[in-house]
A and B are shown apart, each in its own frame.
Chain A
Amino acid sequence: MKRSLTILTAVAAASLALTSCSGAGTGASDNTKAELTFWHGYTEADGKVLNKIVEDFNASQSNVTIKVQTNPWSVIDDTLLPALSSGNGPDIVAMPAERLPVYADKGAFVELDDFYKDSNSNLDKLVPAAADMETVNGHKYGVPSGFVPLAMFYNKALFAKAGITTPPATWSEWIAAAKKLTIDENKDGTPEQYGLGLPDHATVANGVWPSLFYGNGGDVVKDGKAVVDSPENAETLKTWVDAVRNDKISPSGLDGIAGDKLFSSGKAAMYLGGPWMSSIAKESNIDYGIAAVPAGPKEQAASAIGISMGITSQKDGAKTAAAQKFFAYFLQKEQATAWSLGSGWPPLRSDIPASAVASNPVVEALTKQSEFGRPLLPGVVNSTDVLTAVDKLTQRAVAGENIKNLLAETQTSVQKVLDTK
């Protein structure tokens, strides 16, 4: 009975492997030839460019083959744990950067400290803030495949109609423009056009409110301590909650997906988003412009959307070495430039100037903003709970609850999350 169970489980696992990740785990016994599986969530045009880079890499190698599997990011996140724990997972996996510490802390990834010291790895050329995303408990666990600060997308047609010629550069200009662009024609209290799409939860890469906090000199977590409850953050919340509740510059209760829809349907004149907004806007025939997130009273900064790639720790040394070879290849100047142009994300190397990617105006614009990018909760192992706490804070604040109490409450819960290991 026990044996047949084992056989059945093996059969089941094999059939799962066939359907979900063909080829994973096969050929691992041969030391000279390494066959790796790479999971990533670049499902659009960017995916084709990445797959081309992988193909070129395969062609350049005699004994390493990388097979790519593309799935939406959320599917990767949902299937990685069962896949890895059953031994059928990928060898390399890309994921949103704030998810990396969660997995790294549980021992899912190979530590890459030595690889970072290796001069052939090209990692010393990385944009420094991008490299910061990969540190967990003092060690490096991943290599970035994308790092871009949130940017402001604006609807040029609506700007022209309102007589605004340049995108706002400071908070006060920003709010003034948003008020001007908010139109309630039938005076029923619900504007037909909003100045800004400001999600209050599940925001774009969870970065909208952290960006606003940075602008006024605040933050969420600093050096492993919760710093949510600060006078700066209270002021930030008050400013924006007032603008949403009283001036109705944005609908309340918006999330990132609804925000995308609002902007692409031309109902919001401004929106904070990632590089993909340019293709969404193009598809919806919206004449858009890209500007940096306007500077706050204290600082100009924006939370960055990051994607990290890790090497799963279930594999042998030969595969780890092969995966590192790929990372080094991926970060070469030529590949990094091609990847940037193809994906629409700014280059990961600090030695590629904006002028080198000028053939793609979106990338050029985003590259110029790179300096404002700050990684979101780098190294915070329980980022899930911290982000939930921030979501609750902003959502309840926009719903009109007492900001002071909310901040104190959030401070306690975030600190508790950071303390529990």
Chain B
Amino acid sequence: MRRPGRWLTSSSSGRRVPRKEVPMSTTVHRKPQAPRYRAPAPIGGRRRPAVGQRRKNLQALSFLLPALLVLGAFTAWPMVSALRLSFTNASGFGKEKWVGFENYARIFTDPVIINAVVNTGLYALLFTPTAVALALVLALLLNDPRLPFRGFFRTALFLPFIISLAVAAIAWAYLIDPQVGLLNYWLSSAGIRIGNVLQDPVLAMPAVAFVAVWKSFGFYMVIFLAGLQEIPGSLYEAARVDGAGAWTRFRHVTMPMLSNTTAFVLIFALIAALQAFDQIYVMTGGGPYGHTETVVMQIYTSGFRKLDVGFASALSYVLLGATLLLSVIQFVFFGRREREGD
């Protein structure tokens, strides 16, 4: 399973973490990654590999088994059954019929689904660059030793990430509520009216994207910070000696050295964007009239409202495929840039 290259696939979530760029010691808020297991050289040389090796394999397997079982039962098995369901008209109550590719055909012809796909794309365009750029800018600021109270700012900016997105969405929905919202009240006393943002077909999508940016940029920021701290100071010194200004140093030292981190953050943010659901479900329910309806919202509606589990499974698989494809494209793109950069 271990693939050559710079990526280590974390087992539980399938999310990728750049091995070198995020060392264990950083404060990245996620499950610690086990260091790569290297079997110690067998005692007495490699004379009898058959018996010793088999025992080691068994031992390794017994250590892995609990995790494998959990993964198998809660990730692999549901994925396999969802794949099977996606070719049926299953409802979850026993009655089901094989329908071949009918569900998949419906995805590409149903205007409601196409609308959701377009919306998801729009959301990704709003969310991904904003979150990544904001995270980068703030990471650069926080990385500057001249900034006072760095620890405080770092914690404060990271704080929203700890809150559940649904809770953040409820709080924001209250803040911008046109009747009882605090934000509206403050703004209106300053003479500004933002109206009913969540019911405005143009503003609703930016609003739900904003909440997601607010909640998640802290996480990307911390990863950028870790990446920035990995860049040797000598490079900047050398650049300074060569007369490079702040912008040139950023453009020709920071950015190239940060490209792995950037790639990781971008892929991560894009995957998060394609799975947009929580705050939309809470704040707009897909409205006003379908303007914030995303693919995952449609999966939920098809599966749990209309009990069309087969179709929902097919849609999940199409989303999985699209996410994979976009990640691979980004991965290849950044990989190529990296090689050219070297």
Contacts and interface: CB of A to CB of B under 8 A. Distances in A.
Given A106-B93, A396-B289, A261 B180 contact: yes
B196 A252 contact: yes
Interface stretch (A74-82, A136-144, A336-344): A74-82
A106 B179 contact: no
A385 B196 CA distance: 25
A168 B309 CA distance: 47
Nearest to A312: B93
Nearest to B74: A12
Interface in A89-126: 102-103, 106-108
A106 B92 contact: yes
B93 A107 contact: yes
A384 interface: yes
A84 B179 contact: no
A131 interface: no
B309 to A, nearest CB: 8
A78 B180 CA distance: 29
B72 A5 contact: yes
Contacts of B307: 81, 102-103, 106, 108
Given A12-B73, A81-B304, A108-B93, A261 B179 contact: yes
A102 B306 contact: yes
Nearest to B290: A392
A3 B200 CA distance: 54
Given A106-B93, A201-B287, A384-B301, A4 B69 contact: yes
Contacts of B304: 77-78, 81
Interface in A1-55: 4-5, 8-9, 12
A82 B92 contact: yes
B206 interface: no
B101 interface: no
Contact of B92 (A78, A81, A384): A81
Interface of B: 69-70, 72-74, 77, 91-95, 177-180, 193, 196, 198-201, 285, 287-290, 301, 303-307, 309
25 contacts: A5-B72, A5-B77, A8-B70, A9-B73, A9-B77, A12-B73, A77-B305, A85-B94, A102-B307, A106-B92, A106-B307, A108-B91, A201-B287, A201-B288, A202-B287, A252-B199, A253-B196, A258-B179, A261-B179, A262-B179, A267-B179, A384-B301, A395-B287, A399-B201, A399-B288
Interface of A: 4-5, 8-9, 12, 77-78, 81-82, 84-85, 102-103, 106-108, 190, 201-202, 251-253, 258, 261-262, 265, 267, 313, 382, 384-385, 391-392, 395-396, 399
Sorted from nearest, which 7 A-B pairs have the closest CB atoms? A253-B199, A106-B91, A85-B92, A392-B289, A253-B196, A107-B95, A384-B305
